[in-house]
Structure 1
Amino acid sequence: MITEVRKFIAAHEQEMVSLLQKLVEINSYTGNKSGVDAVATVIQQECESIGLHVRREARTEVGDNLVIETQLHKDGVKGLLMCGHMDTVFPPELGFNSFTQDATNFYGPGVADMKCGLVVGIYLLKALDALGLLQNMSIAFICNSDEETGSTHSAELILQEAENSFAGFVLESTKEGGELVIGRKGRMTFELEVTGKAGHAGNVGAHKASAILEIAHQIQAYEALNDIEQGTSVNVGTVEGGVGANTVAEKARAIVEFRYSKKECGDNVWKAVQELAAKPFTEGTTCSVKTMTARPPMVTNDAILGLYDMVKEVGTKHGYDIQCAHCGGGSDANIISQTGIPVIDGIGPLGGKLHSVEEFLVSATIPERAVLATLVVAKAWEQYCCSK
């Protein structure tokens, strides 16, 4: 099988690059619904061209989500889940909108995070179809539209499909050393709003109810919640408030995020944040906190390690050096893992400098990872699904 898969991917490598370029040159910033929908349309056409069913889940606030499925999956047969996202972090006005290349790399918005993974997923399915295997497999491939902002409009869909699957694969780009991801931190972003009492800065007494003063106290308390040994990090990303230097601030606001390796650690931080809000440091002020986005941790367990062992076995058999790593960033693998099925992330090509205008993809890893992913999915079907 390895020979046939390699032949297929080699014969279609330039097609893969052309498709990657086409996707990268469509701006699909999460807030650009028309752009994300345009990416969805390209992917839909590619998959329907080989007879796959594409279920398009309409969304109003963000781009539509896609569920690409084989006939067996459409018929209700439990199988495998693949997942990737179509959105990027680059708004159109940033001006980072071209696809370029040099001798070793491709460059462009989302080239590694994660339009390369979408291309690998599409050609993985095409390779299995060319080998005559796909018709006897139940596979769902979700391409969602809002992963970069927490998958708020796609998490329910991902959970539904995960619950109807034996194992999952997220096609995010691999870690910098080529490692697969077997664990990710959970993440919550929340808003802190402080209300004080406005006044003339020259006439206030000793106990001014300044919203900015209170938010400074809250921020210091948040920083004390950092616990590197436990894998917990807290960061205040933005702060705003007040109207001028001569006015005591009536309003102040901060956007904060924290990340955590274990559920109980995340619960403890959120409890502490709420307790701090309930008891302000500054007399005459009030605080409120509300969740903006949340993603649970992908906790490494025996099921995930078992799937990783299978992937490593496939890699070793066919000459791929497979290693694993944990990651501080979140992905849709965090959501999938909540159902208890094993999931591996980072099975896409190798890239770097994600979320920056220097984002790149190592070009040689596109065919390498496409071959590996195809072999892995075929083996996972055999090991996790055929005996069920």
Structure 2
Amino acid sequence: MVDYQAVMDFVSQQEDRMFSVLRDMVLIQSGSYNKEGVDRVVRLISGFFSDTPFHIKEIPQDKFGNHLLVCTEAARVSHKSILVTGHTDTVFPEDTTFNWYREDEERAYGPGVIDMKGGLVVGMFAMKALQHLGLSEEIPVRFLFNSDEEIGSPSSRQIIRELAKESKFGFVLECGSLDGRIVTGRKGKIGIRLLVEGGAGHAAFASEEKPSAILELAHKIIKIEALNDVTAGISVNVGTINGGTGPNVVAKNAEAGIDVRYTEPSQREIILSGLERIVGESIIPVVKSKYRIVSERPPMPQTERNRRLFEVIRDTGKKIGLDVNDEFRNGVSDANLIAAEGVPVVDGLGPIGDLDHSEREYMIKKSLPERTTLFTLSLIESWKRKGEL
């Protein structure tokens, strides 16, 4: 029998400390490329768990911040565990002026307050709650704090996928939507760099078929944008362009940055085939083009197993007076990597807020203890019902 009241009492007793930890974490500047700052966040988290019997392993990195893996006692002996992930980095650069934290009666403000240091606090105190209740010896949880999610998880993606293979199911603590929905599916994403090479020359003496890389790129952009298919859930956006050396010079080189989002795994090849056709066909015969994939996350389909895992959370929420619904999100997260291993996963379990990735980012304060209670109980209930998942 799950003691719901004991969980709610623990979270209530810890609420002041939760906001204190959140404040301390937010005030550490931890942009993705600020290794020193991200490592300070990792040390804060390690210190938070220093009085527990949990296994704490720091995973050193040369370029990016270190990762941290925290495991309950049960996870050290169990073949299949619950995987929890959350990232310690933010989108804000080291020299940002958005380097403060404040609260009013209803909201907390600061860089990463919901994306996703608030989610880290939810997971950290849920782990402490399991220990307090004597359940950390029974429920195997592996919590990976990774340092580079905001830039595509280049150094942590393989760690996440390997941990996913050893997991029964997974939870990701990105923020919840304003209406309280959590995530059972996400689009996939491909980041592409398109490179065009022509021939330089003086603009005053250009021929009719001047080998301008910029002109060729302009033709290609129109065709690439035509790959959009809103009905099918496919979005293709040419978001950056660069090229040329001056107005009086025919551009030898040009490039574009392209963001692709899609819903179904099968759509990936359709999109890339269309792109390859566009890249391979030159309007200006002597101009050549090529592309390369610079980042990628596969889609997270709304599978039946994801749905069953969500239903555990929904049922748990009802018992504590929280109305929980699910949604499909266009954005990506590390949940996409877990889903790629065929492991059921639910995301968006962090606190509720809005305007992340901006200097107006805020959290609705009451959602921090609410989501901590919900997540703690969901860990307990999902492991209890693991045979159904």
TM range (shorter): over 0.9
After superposition, residues 86-97 of structure 1 pair within 5 angstroms as 86-97=88-99
In the aligned structure 1, how far is the partner of 2:99 from the partner of 2:219?
41
For the Cα contact (< 8 Å) 2:101–2:110, is it kept in 1?
yes
User: Is residue 9 of structure 1 aligned with residue 11 of structure 2?
Assistant: yes
- Per the TM alignment, residue 93 of structure 1 is displaced from its structure 2 partner at its CA by 1.7
- Per the TM alignment, residue 76 of structure 1 is displaced from its structure 2 partner at its CA by 4.3
Q: Deviations over 1:85-127 (max 9, x none)?
A: 1111000222111111112111111000000000010000111
Q: Which residue of 2 aligns with 1:213?
A: 215
Q: Which residue of 2 aligns with 1:343?
A: 345
Q: Deviations over 1:50-92 (max 9, x none)?
A: 1211111111121111111012212343221111111110002
After superposition, residues 105-116 of structure 1 pair within 5 angstroms as 105-116=107-118
Q: Which residue of 1 aligns with 2:153?
A: 151
> Of 135, 138, 160, which residue of structure 1 is paired with 2:137?
135
> Of 182, 185, 188, which residue of structure 2 is paired with 1:186?
188
In the aligned structure 2, how far is the partner of 1:269 from the partner of 1:37?
38
In the aligned structure 1, how far is the partner of 2:49 from the partner of 2:218?
52
After superposition, residues 330-369 of structure 1 pair within 5 angstroms as 330-369=332-371
For the Cα contact (< 8 Å) 1:77–1:138, is it kept in 2?
no
Q: Which residue of 2 aligns with 1:316?
A: 318
For the Cα contact (< 8 Å) 1:79–1:381, is it kept in 2?
no
Aligned residue pairs total 387
- Per the TM alignment, residue 269 of structure 1 is displaced from its structure 2 partner at its CA by 0.9
In the aligned structure 2, how far is the partner of 1:331 from the partner of 1:362?
22
> Of 71, 83, 90, which residue of structure 1 is paired with 2:85?
83
Q: Normalized against structure 1, the TM-score is what?
A: 0.97
> Of 116, 119, 138, which residue of structure 2 is paired with 1:117?
119
Q: Which residue of 1 aligns with 2:25?
A: 23
Structure 1 residue runs without a partner (length 5+): none
In the aligned structure 2, how far is the partner of 1:214 from the partner of 1:35?
43
Residue identity matched to 1:156: Q
Q: Deviations over 1:106-165 (max 9, x none)?
A: 111100000000001000011111111112221100111111111121111111111111
User: Is residue 58 of structure 1 aligned with residue 63 of structure 2?
Assistant: no
In the aligned structure 2, how far is the partner of 1:166 from the partner of 1:127?
21
In the aligned structure 2, how far is the partner of 1:211 from the partner of 1:154?
36
For the Cα contact (< 8 Å) 1:70–1:135, is it kept in 2?
yes
Residue identity matched to 2:93: P
- Structure 1 stretches of 4+ with a deviation exceeding 3 A read none
For the Cα contact (< 8 Å) 1:259–1:266, is it kept in 2?
no
Q: Normalized against structure 2, the TM-score is what?
A: 0.97
Q: Which residue of 2 aligns with 1:32?
A: 34
Structure 2 residue runs without a partner (length 5+): none
Q: Secondary structure at the match of 2:385?
A: helix
Q: Which residue of 1 aligns with 2:384?
A: 382
Q: Secondary structure at the match of 1:136?
A: coil
Q: Which residue of 2 aligns with 1:175?
A: 177
Residue identity matched to 1:258: V
Residue identity matched to 1:171: L
